Amino acid sequence: MRTLIQNAEIVTASDQFRGDLLFQDDKILSVGSNLGDATRDQTIDANGKYLLPGGLDVHCHLEMPFMGSVSKDDFTSGGKCAIAGGTTTVVDFCIPSKGGTLAQALEIWDAKSKPKAMCDYSYHMCIVDWNEGIRKELDLAFERGITSFKIFTAYKGALMISDEEIFDLMLEVRQRGGLVTAHAVNGDVLNILAARFAAEGKLSPHYHPLCQPPVAEGEATGRVLELGKMADQPAYIVHMTCKEAVVELARARKRGWESYGEVCAQHLMLDADLYDLPDFEGAKYVMSPPLRKAHDREALWGALANGIIQVVGTDHCTFDFKGQKDMGKDDFRKIPNGLNGLQERMPVVWTYGVNQKRISLQRLVETCCTNPAKMFGLYPTKGSLLPGSDADLVLWDTKQGYTISAKTHQSACDTNVYEGTRVEVTAHTVFIRGQKVYEAGKFLVEPGFGQYQKRPAGRPMKVDYSSLGNQTVGV
């Protein structure tokens, strides 16, 4: 079956032009300005809609057990969020239980994803213990096509591993070819500050960000990048939130180290003042690292524009305000950490990044679609409009905006942290591997449609060659 999409405003990481795209079954055949003579079975007149590759969100947590609860969106509702927001592939975090094996964790994650997935998906593997058993099991992960490993420098006694263990892991991953990613905040500092606030009875959400000051994030970011340099192993910092972290990444890249960074939509958009909302409403915004201040957001937008940061993610991990977040009503340390973003990421970055001239539309495609695929071994199957790539396509309507609300979102959660925010674009029609999965608000496939994406070993594909070593922090 051949389909021709005509008269689209085609946007890739490098180009924008009025043109046509032809795909056959699940793969793109050709892209150009005049494919009207092509043999085909059906024609779609895109009528000036914007045609972008499907987005990849490489940071989300679906049906994740955390802090005595389970995150609200699973691979079905979370997948619906993704698709309705122009994202066609998600990379979730497979998290072994403390003392458990990677094999056990994979079994649990497969059971959650396979029958429920709406869009394509893959996993990162979290390394929360480091011992000879896990070292051996890295081979299993690579065989399964899992080539990225996440470590935590925070959450002592739960997820955190030591510098010694991180460094040893980096050497092992280097041998096999993959990426080490890090949640980088100084965990010792966080623990001491949190305990001191608690001892003084300071237990409202206001104190959540104060336990993880920007310096504690900058310190851990720099430390992980230096460990990566010493191990000759690329490192990628997830959800960077502040100027201090950006400065460390810029410095590492200026020195020519293979260092990468990700920012999540909420850290570009939302302010730490939200923690002070009355009636415990600040709990809705509790995530780690926390929301920051205006000058941090400016640093993040600048770093996204000038190539210091390569990827926009979401850390989508939703918890209901009633029944989940309120577990921490008397103690912010017990509020399940996490918030939404899968559906909002691309419309928000388009509206507040592209339309407000902070980044170009090409840069949006690069950081939301192409670079995530390059970083994590899915390029050019995903994240591009090249002939031979999967026909993961999104037709965006730029004349049709909407106001974000928990009343209308696809998430199963009772809260949306962007409530009332106006966006100026809508994902109208979405194809995954050539199959139309969504049109005008309606889903056209069933749970289980999404396919697991095996990722090959190898170093992440280099991005931003031209600007590497030539970057300055924007503020």
What is the 3-state secondary structure of the chain?
A: CEEEEEEEEEECCCCEEEEEEEEECCEEEEEECCCCCCCCCEEEECCCCEEEECEEEEEECCCCEECCEECCCCCCHHHHHHHHCCEEEEEEEECCCCCCCHHHHHHHHHHHHCCCCCCEEEEEEECCCCCHHHHHHHHHHHHCCCCEEEEECCCCCCCECCHHHHHHHHHHHHHHCCEEEEECCCHHHHHHHHHHHHHCCCCCHHHCHHHCCHHHHHHHHHHHHHHHHHHCCCEEECCCCCHHHHHHHHHHHHCCCCEEEEEEHHHHHCEHHHHHCCCCHHHHHCCCCCCECHHHHHHHHHHHHHCCCCEEECCECCCCCCCCHHHHCCCHHHCCCCECCCCCHHHHHHHHHHCCCCCCHHHHHHHHHHHHHHHCCCCCCCCCCCCCCECCEEEEECCCCEECCCCCCCCCCCCCCCCCCEECCEEEEEEECCEEEEECCEECCCCCCCCECCCCCCCCCCCCCCCCCCCCCCC
Q: Nearest to Zn ion by Cβ — which residue?
A: 315
Q: How far is the CB of 61 from Zn ion (least distance, A)?
A: 6
Q: How far is the CB of 18 from Zn ion (least distance, A)?
A: 39
Query: How many residues touch Zn ion (CB under 5 A)?
Result: 1
Question: Which residues in the 275-334 window bind Zn ion by CB under 5 A?
Answer: 315
- Closest to Zn ion by CB, 172 vs 315, is 315
73 binds Zn ion (CB under 5 A): no
Question: Which residues in the 1-30 window bind Zn ion by CB under 5 A?
Answer: none
Q: How far is the CB of 152 from Zn ion (least distance, A)?
A: 10
- Contact flags string 397-426 toward Zn ion, x per CB under 5 A: ------------------------------
- Closest to Zn ion by CB, 148 vs 384, is 148
- Closest to Zn ion by CB, 75 vs 438, is 75
- Closest to Zn ion by CB, 126 vs 463, is 126
- Closest to Zn ion by CB, 258 vs 315, is 315
Q: How far is the CB of 263 from Zn ion (least distance, A)?
A: 13
- Closest to Zn ion by CB, 61 vs 229, is 61
Q: How far is the CB of 150 from Zn ion (least distance, A)?
A: 8
List interacting residues with Zn ion (CB under 5 A): 315
